[in-house]
Amino acid sequence: MKLKVTVKRQKDPQSPPYEQSFLYQGEGATVAGIIRKINQRENLTDINGEPAEKIGWECGCMLRKCGACAMIINGRPSLACSQYIEADGELFLAPLSKFPVVRDLIVDREHIFKSLYKAALWLDENMGYDEEHHAARFSSSNCIMCGCCLEVCPEFSLGEDNYSGAVLPVNSYRIADREEEPQHLKQISKQYQKAFFSGCGQSLSCNKICPCNLPVEELIVKSNAINVWKRRKNKK
């Protein structure tokens, strides 16, 4: 396979972005596999033979489990480890656009983590076992905080309003479903309405983009039901 890999690069947060291309020849691989191969070259040169710095990116598990390698791949946000490239052509890589760029493909996603603790997502008292909701709570706990759903969200931006995007309803469900302490549940609901419900335009562009195939829409509906419409099944 012969591939022209173009990376939107940036030396540091202050420097202007630029594009640089590399030639990749080898077997079909995930984008993560391709970047690793390029970075392993001893004297890295770009497609014009000019010396180049290693591509800055974050990578952990290579298995869609850690969320580190989220980026824009040919115009679409995804995990580098989840996209296979197996035919000749061009590959265009850019950092997620909604977060501040640190370097090359690395962005600072602090906002995601901050929004979860502002939302008071912890359990004070656990309601205990409930088989019926197990699958949804399991999905809620599997969110890898990569930020792909925020990239495609028309409402989300890092502005003053601190709109959380789908990360909050996805993660809120496992807590809202089980929290038994009424004051805390109230606090969760209040923040939920402020940080998510009042801002969501229901475009649902987040639903299909999740690289882990989480049932985003289902979790939004379920989190809304508890946090906004106060519908929660009574447990045994």
Partner 1 sequence: MNNRFIIIGAGLAGLSAALTCAKNGDSVILVSDGYSERSQSVMAEGGINGAIDTQNDSPEAHFQDTLFSSCGLVKEEAIHALTQAAPIIIKELARMGVNFNTEQNGKLSLRPFGGQKNRRTAFAGTSSGKQILTAINDEVRKYEIKGLIIRKPHHLFRDILIDKGVCTGAIIFDKYSQKEELLYANGVITASGGLNGLFKDFTGSVANTGYCTALLFARGVKLSNLEMIQYHPTTAENNGKRMLVSEAARGEGGRLFVYKGNEKYYFMEEKYPELKNLMPRDVTAREIYNISKEMNCEVFLDMTELDEAVFEKKLKSLREDCIKYLSVDPKDSPIPVFPGIHYFMGGIAVDTAHRTSLKGLYAAGECCSQYHGANRLGGNSLLGAVYGGKVAASTACEDNLPLIQDGERLKEDLPFEAAEDIKDVLQTAMGVIRNEESLSAALEKIKENDIFSLLAKAVLQSALERRESRGAHFRSDYPERNDDKFKKVSVASFDETVNIRFEGV
DSSP output for 35-96: HHHHHH-SS-B-TTS-B-PPPP---S-SSSSS-TTEEEETTEEEEGGG-EE-SSEEEEEE--
Minimal distance in Å, beta carbon 92 to partner 1?
20
Q: Which is nearer to partner 1, 112 or 155 (CB)?
A: 112
Helix ranges (H only) for the chain are: 31-40, 110-118, 134-141, 148-151, 167-176, 182-192, 216-227
CB atoms within 10 A of CB 224: 20
Minimal distance in Å, beta carbon 146 to partner 1?
9
Contact 56, 68 (CB under 8 A): no
Length, in residues, of the chain: 236
Instruction: Reduce the DSSP state of residue 134 to 3 states and report it.
Output: helix
d(CA 20, CA 74): 15
The only residue of 122, 161, 190, 201 in contact with partner 1, by rule CB under 8 A = 122
Site residues (CB under 8 A) for partner 1, limited to 65-94: 65-68, 81-82
Site residues (CB under 8 A) for partner 1, limited to 191-230: none
Q: Which is nearer to partner 1, 59 or 225 (CB)?
A: 59
Minimal distance in Å, beta carbon 68 to partner 1?
5
The only residue of 134, 186, 190, 231 in contact with partner 1, by rule CB under 8 A = 134
Q: Which is nearer to partner 1, 82 or 155 (CB)?
A: 82
Q: Which is nearer to partner 1, 47 or 62 (CB)?
A: 62
Of 43-51, 103-111, 202-210, 215-223: span binding partner 1 (CB under 8 A) = 103-111
129 forms part of the interface with partner 1 (CB under 8 A) = yes
CB atoms within 10 A of CB 121: 19
CB atoms within 10 A of CB 178: 19
For residue 164, CA distances in Å to 46, 135, 197 come to: 38, 24, 9
Of 45-53, 57-65, 193-201, 215-223: span binding partner 1 (CB under 8 A) = 57-65
47 forms part of the interface with partner 1 (CB under 8 A) = no
CB atoms within 10 A of CB 51: 8
User: What residues line the site for partner 1 (CB under 8 A)?
Assistant: 29-30, 32-33, 36-37, 40, 42, 58-68, 81-82, 102, 106, 108-110, 113, 116-117, 120-123, 126, 129, 131, 134, 137-138, 141-145, 174-175, 178
